[in-house]
């Protein structure tokens, strides 16, 4: 890095200007129409009369005589001192420098690792990226033969690309890595591009690794080629880790064919510390959601892998029709449904007076009880905040139990009452209680 600063400083000392340097000696025209449609000139300095260590300079102009490219070649004595063998500077149509290409001697490469350096600039002269190229004897050690470092508006490094050697690629299966850096100078994420051989063997074409603030891996994503995706059903897989780098969940993104068949285009698996699946979450397609009313389903499992509950999140259209936004279905140890809990929308709750409700089932999957929890406004108005409706084996409503609020109970000396119904649903008896004591019939 120290030598890099020396090299960049030399640009300003030796060349850096928006136009070609003007010397007393008349340059020779070596090309009357170059690739820029202008002339090319060359100056060769006699031994002992070199200009700032340069023995040769070649200048390229466009048809408007604006400098487009300058080449500087340095003496061995100067190169041994600075490490720079040659320098090529490119300019835009306004004569502003846009790129500097350095070639270094072997002694410099022995120390710094690279023998070529390419610096790119924006219109304000800010360094936007720097490319380093390594000789074979260095790249064999590092594993990459070139890298490109990118800079933000404050000229802080925010991304580095590594282009791996053939041998390293064969060994690891990666041909390129891109490392992203956050504002604190720490790793944010890394992208690995697989070789064609690895992609054909494993099916994945690239990998993304994400890091937390302490540079610990928190997520790894794999992207699969079409042929492999057609086989396994998903085109992308993501694995998440906690701060101790334990796997916490896996995420799968399904292709169109699989999504159309199963109805969901994304699935997440949640794991415990023993790598057992505790939850499985499904995200459904628009077509499936429109037909079935829900767009998310979350399945919970116990330690033995048995399903204990299903959670559903419903679409806006379904909610407007049925009144509830979510529901949870619970299962007993035998896998039989014993309860469904509903969370109602604000509009439904305001209109009907209760915010949540639950339906209970017996061992034969018959509804035997429903429970409702009332909104605060409804409870203040009616005096009760909870209702339980009981059913017989045929599903007929046989009684309803109302639980008073604390303030209502204090005022009326009762804390609940029960209504009994006949076979036609008519009210036949009322009972009032204070605790377990029957107060009035």
**Alpha helices for 36-165 (secondary structure H):** 76-82, 106-112, 136-142
Q: Is residue 4 very low, low, confident or very high in pLDDT (cuts 50, 70, 90)?
A: very low
Average pLDDT over residues 131-152: 97
Mean pLDDT is lowest, of 13-17, 95-99, 172-176, 381-385, for 13-17
197-208 per-position pLDDT tens digit = 999 999 999 999
Tell me the pLDDT of the chain averaged across its residues. Answer: 92
Q: Is 431 exposed, middle or buried (0-12, 13-18, 19+ CB in 10 A)?
A: middle
DSSP string, 25-56: SPPEEEESS-TTEEEEEEEEPPTT--BTTEEE
pLDDT at 44 over 90: yes
**Whole-angstrom distance, CA of residue 322 vs CA of residue 313:** 13
CA distances from 235 to 15, 92, 259, 293 (A): 52, 43, 11, 26
User: What pLDDT does residue 25 have?
Assistant: 57
Nearest Cα to 179, choosing from 188, 171, 170? 188
pLDDT band at 121 (very low <50, low <70, confident <90, very high): very high
Measure CA 369 to chain center: 45
Tell me which of 15-29, 93-107, 242-256, 293-307 is least confident. 15-29
Q: What is the pLDDT of residue 12?
A: 39
- Predicted confidence (pLDDT) at residue 133 exceeds the cutoff of 60: yes
Q: How confident is the model at residue 435 (pLDDT cuts 50, 70, 90)?
A: confident
CA pair distance 229, 231, nearest whole angstrom: 5
Query: What pLDDT sits at residue 2?
Result: 40
Segment 48-62, tens digit of pLDDT: 888 899 999 999 999
* pLDDT of the residue at 47: 87
**Is pLDDT above 80 for 84?**
yes
Determine the pLDDT at residue 1: 42
The residue count of the chain comes to 441
* Cα within 13 Å of Cα(52), Cβ side: 15
> How high is the pLDDT of residue 9?
43
pLDDT at 268 over 50: yes
Q: What is the pLDDT of residue 362?
A: 94
Cβ pair 226, 205 in contact under 8 A: no
Candidates 179, 236, 175; CA nearest to 204 is: 236
Domain ranges of the chain: 1-106, 134-262
Residue 10's pLDDT band, with cuts at 50, 70 and 90, is very low
pLDDT value at 3 more than 60: no
Q: What Å distances lie between residue 224 and 1, 56, 280, CA to CA?
A: 38, 53, 22
pLDDT bucket at 273, cuts 50 / 70 / 90: very high
Calculate mean pLDDT across residues 59-69. Answer: 96
What CATH architecture is 134-262?
A: Alpha-Beta Complex (3.90)
**DSSP reduced 3-state for 235:** strand
Q: Which residues pair with 437 in a beta bridge?
A: 434
């Amino acid at each position: 890095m120290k030598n890099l600063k020396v090299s960049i400083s030399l640009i300003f000392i030796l060349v850096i200007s928006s136009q070609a340097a003007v010397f007393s000696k008349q340059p020779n025209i070596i090309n009357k129409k170059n690739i820029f449609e202008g002339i090319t000139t060359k100056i060769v300095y006699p031994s002992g009369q070199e200009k700032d260590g340069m023995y040769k300079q070649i200048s390229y102009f466009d048809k408007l005589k604006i400098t487009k490219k300058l080449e500087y070649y340095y003496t061995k004595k100067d190169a041994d001192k600075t490490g720079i063998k040659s320098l090529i500077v490119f300019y835009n149509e306004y004569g502003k420098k846009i790129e500097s290409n350095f070639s270094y001697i072997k002694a410099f490469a022995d120390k710094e690792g690279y023998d070529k350096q390419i610096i790119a600039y924006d219109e304000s002269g800010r360094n936007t990226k720097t490319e380093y190229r390594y000789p074979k004897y260095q790249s064999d050690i590092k594993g990459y033969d070139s890298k490109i470092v990118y800079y933000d508006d404050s000229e802080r490094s925010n991304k580095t690309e590594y282009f791996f050697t053939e041998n390293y690629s064969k060994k690891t299966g990666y041909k390129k890595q891109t490392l992203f850096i956050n504002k604190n100078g720490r790793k944010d994420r890394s992208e690995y591009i697989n070789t064609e051989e690895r992609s054909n063997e494993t099916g994945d074409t690239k990998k993304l690794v994400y890091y937390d603030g302490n540079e610990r891996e928190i997520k790894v994503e794999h992207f699969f080629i079409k042929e492999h995706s057609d086989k396994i059903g998903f085109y992308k897989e993501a694995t998440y880790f906690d701060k101790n780098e334990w796997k916490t969940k896996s995420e799968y993104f399904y292709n169109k064919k699989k999504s159309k068949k199963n109805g969901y285009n994304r699935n997440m698996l949640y794991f415990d510390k023993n790598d057992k699946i505790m939850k499985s979450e499904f995200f459904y397609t628009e077509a499936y959601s429109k037909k079935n009313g829900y767009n998310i389903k979350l399945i919970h499992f116990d330690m033995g892998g048995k399903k204990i509950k299903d959670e559903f999140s419903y679409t806006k259209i379904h909610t407007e029709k049925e009144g509830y936004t979510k529901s949870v279905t619970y299962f007993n140890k035998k896998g039989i449904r014993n309860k469904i809990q509903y969370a109602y929308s604000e509009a439904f709750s305001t209109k009907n007076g209760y915010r949540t409700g639950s339906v209970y089932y017996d061992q034969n999957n018959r509804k035997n009880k429903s429970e409702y929890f009332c909104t605060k406004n409804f409870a203040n108005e009616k005096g009760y905040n909870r209702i339980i409706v009981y059913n017989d084996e045929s599903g007929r409503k046989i009684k309803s139990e109302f639980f008073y609020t604390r303030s209502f109970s204090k005022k009326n000396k009762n804390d609940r009452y029960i209504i009994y119904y006949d076979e036609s649903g008519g009210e036949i008896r009322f009972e009032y209680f204070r605790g377990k004591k029957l107060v009035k019939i």
